[in-house]
Amino acid sequence: MLYHPDKHRDPELKTQAEQLFNLVHEAYEVLSDPQARAIYDIYGKRGLDVDGWEVVERKRTPAEIREEYERLQAEREERRLQQRTNPKGTISVGIDATDLFDRYDEDYEDVAGGGVPHVEINRMHISQSIEAPLTTKDTAILSGSLSTHNGNGGGTINLALRRVTSAKGAVFYATVGPLVFYLAIQQLIIRPYVRAQKEQDLEKQRESSASNIARKKQEAESAVLLMQESVRRIIEAEESRMGLIILNAWYGKFVTDNSRRHERAKVIDVTVPLQCLVKDSKLILTEATKSGLPGFYDPCVGEEKSLKVLYQFRGVMHQVLSGDAEPLRIPKQCKRARTAVCLG
């Protein structure tokens, strides 16, 4: 109703309403289909984007959908792991088949048991290696081998670090040591590299999602414009009954450390969107990220976010801080009861 194009006469608002209405229609198509809805209920929108989910669509029950979807997910993860770790291995076997070709004795076949040549495996070698990328230039390599010869055997396990030292692809190999030193290496080398890689991945995620953030921001701003008239009516109704009025609301990353005050700008004003969700003097948000609410978007991708709300109820001001994925219900029941006692 809020985004229906026919509800808006202004040409600009009508265009924005059409864009948002198409998103609502897309959601309706998913939720009105039993199979698609079952997948969405279990895995969210990402479940609808998985390769091969059309196979899942033929299932009838959520349990069957979950089983088939998890199988497809496991296959994708295995392929991704294979690509990332680049496993390599070789197996060689030595066979003594002298008896198979040594048939110079004319009476060989007359000897008891001489009709079946004797073939023996006298040597075997197995080797395996996997690679674990740490950064764009550094890769950890874990390798091992096992050899046997005439009943005697031995094996080795090695951990090495490979670094690309130039753009031309020169490679520097440094043998770190056997596996017994792995824990020390993990503390001193691998974990710092992993942390650095996570920072790089986060930065790449921000860069790659920049266009998507801009689009979401545009959609949120359009939604806020379309909400203005509805919000005005909601506020009038709430004021008449001394109900719930959202005075101010912010969403994003809040920084309380004075030395990091420059980061406090990573929040957006969501006063209008929250007031639009008020019904019968209540605001109820479910246990999910709030960046997907109408009029919201993610101002700091990959970082921890919260929702801070300053509201008025029964003439008394209150403030609440809620985590991004935490459910929220205002006014709080205890505060509501306490106000009622005071008024009594």
Q: What is the pLDDT of residues 143-187, one digit of tens each?
A: 888 888 777 778 888 777 776 655 444 544 444 445 555 566 666
Q: Where are the alpha helices (DSSP H) in 241-325?
A: 271-276
The candidate with the shortest Cα–Cα distance to 194, out of 132, 260, 114, is: 132
* Cα gap 182→180, rounded to integer Å: 6
Tell me how far apart the alpha carbons of residues 230 and 228 are, in angstroms, rounded to a whole number: 6
DSSP 48-78: HTSTTHHHHTT--SHHHHHHHHHHHHHHHHH
Nearest one of 289, 256, 294 to 275, comparing CA atoms: 294
CA triplet 28, 292, 231: central angle to 5 degrees?
85
Tell me what pLDDT residue 86 has: 65
Q: 250 pLDDT band (50/70/90 cuts)?
A: very high
**Residue partners of 51: CB distance under 8 A and separation at least 6:** 72, 76
Q: Which is more confidently placed, 195 or 21?
A: 21
Half-sphere exposure of 205 (CA within 13 A, CB side): 11
CA angle 82, 84, 89 (to 5 degrees): 50
- Cβ atoms of residues 185 and 177 within 8 Å: yes
pTM to 2 decimal places: 0.52
Q: How far apart are CA 33 and CA 57, in angstroms?
A: 10
pLDDT at 254: 86
User: What's the pLDDT score for residue 100?
Assistant: 65
Mean pLDDT (the chain) is 76
What pLDDT digit, counting tens, does each position of 26-50 carry? 889 888 888 778 778 777 777 776 5
